[in-house]
């Protein structure tokens, strides 16, 4: 069965600190897709990144970086030099190819609080 685990329920950091959000997934499919979404207080889920199972390259986008390791079934998200605007709930999600991408399995989310 497919499952996504975000063990960190809440994280609190001070501005400019680096922070890593953990994500561990389970799937029996060999082709799958991993996502990170950000949910600010307004409620709308904002897409951050998509990674395909056959592409283990790490990615950096500004202050954001993602580390995908199939060997440990992890897809961790690091924010460098955090800012107050990064405060939100972050969700990791999994989609399996057999569902043709239309079904996302979400982790429980990590609430990040960045204090000035």
Partner 1 sequence: KAGVTQTPRYLIKTRGQQVTLSCSPISGHRSVSWYQQTPGQGLQFLFEYFSETQRNKGNFPGRFSGRQFSNSRSEMNVSTLELGDSALYLCASSLGLLALEDTQYFGPGTRLTVL
Residue ranges binding partner 1 (CB under 8 A): 35, 37, 42-47, 50, 91, 97, 99-109
Do the strands 110-115 and 10-14 form a parallel or antiparallel pair, or are they unpaired? parallel
Q: Radius of gyration (Cα) for the chain, nearest Å?
A: 14
- Taking the complex as a whole, the smallest distance from the CB of residue 25 to partner 1 amounts, in Å, to 15
To the nearest 10°, the Cα dihedral for 93, 97, 100, 102?
-10
Identity of the residue, 14 or 46, whose beta carbon is nearer to partner 1 in the bound complex: 46
| CB distance 21 to 87 below 8 Å | no
Alpha carbons 28 and 5: distance in angstroms, whole number: 15
- Taking the complex as a whole, the smallest distance from the CB of residue 42 to partner 1 amounts, in Å, to 7
Identity of the residue, 32 or 82, whose beta carbon is nearer to partner 1 in the bound complex: 32
Identity of the residue, 82 or 92, whose beta carbon is nearer to partner 1 in the bound complex: 92
Classify residue 32 as left (phi > 0), alpha (psi -120 to 50) or beta.
Answer: beta
Identity of the residue, 18 or 101, whose beta carbon is nearer to partner 1 in the bound complex: 101
- Taking the complex as a whole, the smallest distance from the CB of residue 115 to partner 1 amounts, in Å, to 23
- Taking the complex as a whole, the smallest distance from the CB of residue 11 to partner 1 amounts, in Å, to 17
């Amino acid at each position: 069965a497919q499952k996504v685990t975000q063990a960190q329920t809440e994280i609190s950091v001070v501005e400019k600190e680096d922070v890593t959000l953990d994500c561990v997934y389970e799937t029996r499919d060999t082709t799958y897709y991993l996502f990170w979404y950000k949910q600010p207080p307004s409620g709308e889920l904002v897409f951050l990144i998509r990674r395909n199972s056959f592409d283990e390259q790490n990615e950096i986008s500004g202050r954001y970086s993602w580390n995908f390791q199939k060997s440990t079934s992890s897809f961790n998200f690091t924010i460098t030099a955090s800012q107050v605007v990064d405060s939100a709930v972050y969700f990791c999600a999994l989609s399996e190819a057999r569902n043709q991408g239309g079904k996302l399995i979400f982790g429980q989310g990590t609430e990040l609080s960045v204090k000035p």
